[in-house]
Amino acid sequence: MTEAQSRQAHPSIAAGIQSYAGAVALVAVSTLIDLWIAPRWGTAAVDMIYLPAVLAAAALWGLGPALVAGATAALAYNFFFTEPVHTFRMDRVADVVTVVVLLIVALVTSRLASAIRSQAQLAAAHAVRNATIAGFAGRLLSCSGAEDIARTACAELHRLFDCNVMLVEGLPEPRVVSGAPDGNRLTPSDVAAAALTIESGEPAGRGTARLQPAEWMFHPVRSGEDVLAAVGLARDDGLLPVGEDDLPLLANLLDQIALALARARAEDESREVAALRERDHLRSALLSSVGHDLRTPLTGIIGAAAELRHDGGNDPALVATVECEAGKLERYISNLLDMARIEAGAVKLKTEPVDLVDSVAAAIKDIRPTLGDHPVSVDLPDDLPLVRADAELLHHCLINLIDNAGRYSSPKGPIRVAAAAARGEVRLSVEDEGPGLPQDAERALDAFSRISGSDRKGGTGLGLAIVKAFAQAMGAKVLASNREGGSGAIFTVLFPKMLVVKASDTADAG
Amino acid sequence: MPARAAKVLVVDDEPQIRTLLKATLTRAGYSVVEAGSGREALNAKTIDKPDLVLLDLGLPDRDGLELVTLLRNEPRTALIVISARDQTEQKVAALDLGADDYVTKPFDTEELLARVRASLRQRLASEAERQVVEVGRITIDLLERMVRRDAEEVHLTPKEWILLAELAKHPGRVLTHHALLRTVWGPAHVGQTEYLRVAIRALRQKLEDTPSQPKLIVNEPGVGYRLIAKV
């Protein structure tokens, strides 16, 4: 017996003695009243006077004192009021009946009273338990964040069950999130029990059905199907930390922890979403502001160069160089911003049926001023099907592919843009007559993903990376290969069947 | 050039862009009024009564699209928006709100002047000029409803004619995909871009020297079509 339990035992023994003495005292008082009544009005009502005493003893102190009261009352009645008086002998049947009735009353009343009392005690115990759970839930409610919840929960359980408590989470190796008192270590068998609890959602360890060799007893903290964590309980003296009687209370408290943890998790997630949104917002604001800041001076330079060209009196070649280089710079900036948009996941897709004739013509018009002397030939069949694409993304793809072809050709090397439909697919390709790609086709495709290459020609990796990312966003593929019968590279944007518009869909255009 | 030089209101918050635009426009014979903010622009619209407004959509003090409506109407004024490259949606919205055309920063000044001329043409051209549009070897007679390539008449389907006529009524100006679909096929078909693509291709095959490399009817990716005409 622990110290606390033995301290509790003494008052209950004292109370027992008191209640028996009380029962006897009640009977004594009744006897005195009877002794006063009997000489005056006879002994007819005397036995009735004992009834309240027995009832009172039963109601106040329960079965034992009630029986003592009943027996004492019977003896006193027998001794003082039945013939022969002042003996314990009984001659009359009526007297025997009185004694028996007194005992039965004592028995029945005390039963009833003790039933009522134990219900009251139960209700009181329930009230205490509900108050415990409510208090526990309240303290968890005021916690902010999962760690705070774990710490408070451990401290509270430690106080309520008078044992060591820890909260563990994570698989396959659960780690201690919080403990009360701090610094408890787990043995390998405890870790196994904790892991089993989290994995299965059932208790494990000491005092449970599974992994009993563990020192700690683990109970799951569950929210619906999920096991959020496990709570471990143990005592320094090696006794069971939680008795059978307290398991329902513990289960209730664990549910409260689960609620609090789930709430904290939901709060964390919504905070994260808000932060993410904020960051995306900031990023796109930054992008558009950088784009604006870089383009404004460029607009000035390009416009001023055009005015110089009109002015005359300047070296036309120099002015042309300014215009051409400023145009190139503009494209690098565009590529940088496009790449940033891709990396930020900010590419918006606006798909529509597109005529590749339009796309190729627009791309050549835009790239022409900075392309130098490369002749560009176009080979698009009259009956080329329309494709579903984002016209703008495709525009930037084509500009980069043509620019790339120009970069890797000799100064006047021809560039060919062609498209063809076959087997329901449409292929749009840009060819040059430069040295071509390295032998290994895989390595050639690797160039797409190389964003920060040490390429002397600069910007190339970026341009192709953008081509690949934009094509992928549209659902198209990019292929790289070498020309057959002569040197040169071919980059092809492949529109799969699902992106090709069937001729029947456009039949009723009128 | 008409007797009175057309007046252009330049609205941009960047002083160096205003300076550049003023130099370019003055060289081309226009008189120029400047505004650095939405408020200044609205004042200038009332006081100076410009013939055309060049409006940067990215002003700090007022929403660009709101200004499009305010600066274009009462009295009706030609309006060209200046926008960033990655603002296609805004460009299209501005055109749908009644802007006549757009240029993208950094713009080519010659292209800008061509847009200005095309946008002013509607107000300044004579009746006769408006009835017959010449584009390269093609003559489009809007009154006679007839198209000639060199001297030879070209036969168009009714839809092709409505489409070409719509483009020819606004020579040199971009018309959005939506606007063309609405005019030619009706409001129920504004989503059917493929109709437009097919009809444009048919027109090119009848009118262009090399239909796969169009020079007369050109596309602005994601925006619309433009009939390239000497104005």
Listing DSSP states for A326-379 in one string gives HHHHHHHHHHHHHHHHHHTT-PPP-EEEE-HHHHHHHHHHHHGGGSTT--EEEE
Interface test with B, best of A357, A383, A394 (most B CBs within 10 A): A357
pLDDT band at A2 (very low <50, low <70, confident <90, very high): very low
Residue A239 pLDDT exceeds 50: yes
Residue A443 pLDDT exceeds 60: no
Q: Which of A83-87, B148-152, B219-223 has the lowest mean pLDDT?
A: A83-87
Give pLDDT, residue A453: 39
For A372-412, write each residue's pLDDT tens digit: 889 999 999 999 999 999 999 999 999 999 998 998 888 88
Residue A92 pLDDT exceeds 90: no
Give pLDDT, residue A87: 80
Name the residue in chain B with its Cα closest to that of A333: B85
Q: CB distance B27–A362 less than 8 Å?
A: no
Rounded CA separation A257/A139 (Å):
10
Of A299, A334, A378, the CB nearest to B213: A378
Contact in structure between A253 and A160 (CB atoms under 8 Å): yes
CB-count exposure of residue A273 (10 Å: 0-12, 13-18, 19+): exposed
Structure tokens at A356: 């590749």
- Give the CA count within 13 Å in the CB-facing half-sphere of B57: 28
For A31-69, write each residue's pLDDT tens digit: 888 888 888 887 777 778 888 888 888 878 877 888 888
For B53-69, write each residue's pLDDT tens digit: 999 988 888 888 889 98
Q: Is the minimum CB–CB distance between B104 and chain A shorter than 8 Å?
A: no
Global ipTM? 0.90
Closest of A219, A217, A224, A185 to residue A202, by C-alpha? A219
Of A337, A395, A506, the CB nearest to B221: A395
Structure tokens at B72: 């274009």
Of A352, A361, A501, the CB nearest to B214: A361
pLDDT band at A440 (very low <50, low <70, confident <90, very high): low
For B130-169, write each residue's pLDDT tens digit: 788 888 889 999 988 999 998 899 999 999 999 999 999 8
CB-count exposure of residue A328 (10 Å: 0-12, 13-18, 19+): middle
Q: Bridge partners of A169?
A: A175
Contact in structure between B54 and B8 (CB atoms under 8 Å): yes
For A161-172, write each residue's pLDDT tens digit: 888 899 988 888
Q: Is the minimum CB–CB distance between B106 and chain A shorter than 8 Å?
A: yes
Rounded CA separation A113/A56 (Å):
10
Give pLDDT, residue A205: 86
List the Cα angle B214/B217/B223 in 5-degree steps. 110
What is the pTM (predicted TM-score) of this model? 0.64
Q: Return mean pLDDT, chain A.
A: 82
Amino acid present at B8: V
Q: CB distance B86–A303 less than 8 Å?
A: no
Q: CB distance B84–A300 less than 8 Å?
A: no
Rounded CA separation A239/A241 (Å):
6
3-state percent helix, strand, coil for chain A, nearest multiple of 5 = 60, 15, 25
Structure tokens at A325: 């280089």
Give pLDDT, residue A285: 76
Residues of chain B neighbouring A357 (CB-CB closer than 8 A): 201, 204, 211-214
Residue A188 pLDDT exceeds 80: yes
Of A303, A362, A510, the CB nearest to B221: A362
Rounded CA separation A122/A124 (Å):
5
Give pLDDT, residue A454: 39
Rounded CA separation A368/A371 (Å):
5
Of A292, A506, A509, the CB nearest to B58: A292
Structure tokens at A321: 């160089």
Rounded CA separation A212/A210 (Å):
5
For B86-136, write each residue's pLDDT tens digit: 778 889 999 999 899 999 888 888 889 999 999 988 776 656 567 888 888
Q: Are strands A217-223 and A387-390 parallel, antiparallel or unpaired?
A: unpaired
Helix (H, G, I), strand (E, B) or coil at B88: helix
Chain B 112-141, CB below 8 Å of chain A: which residues? none
Name the residue in chain B with its Cα closest to that of A398: B221
Chain B 26-65, CB below 8 Å of chain A: which residues? 27, 58
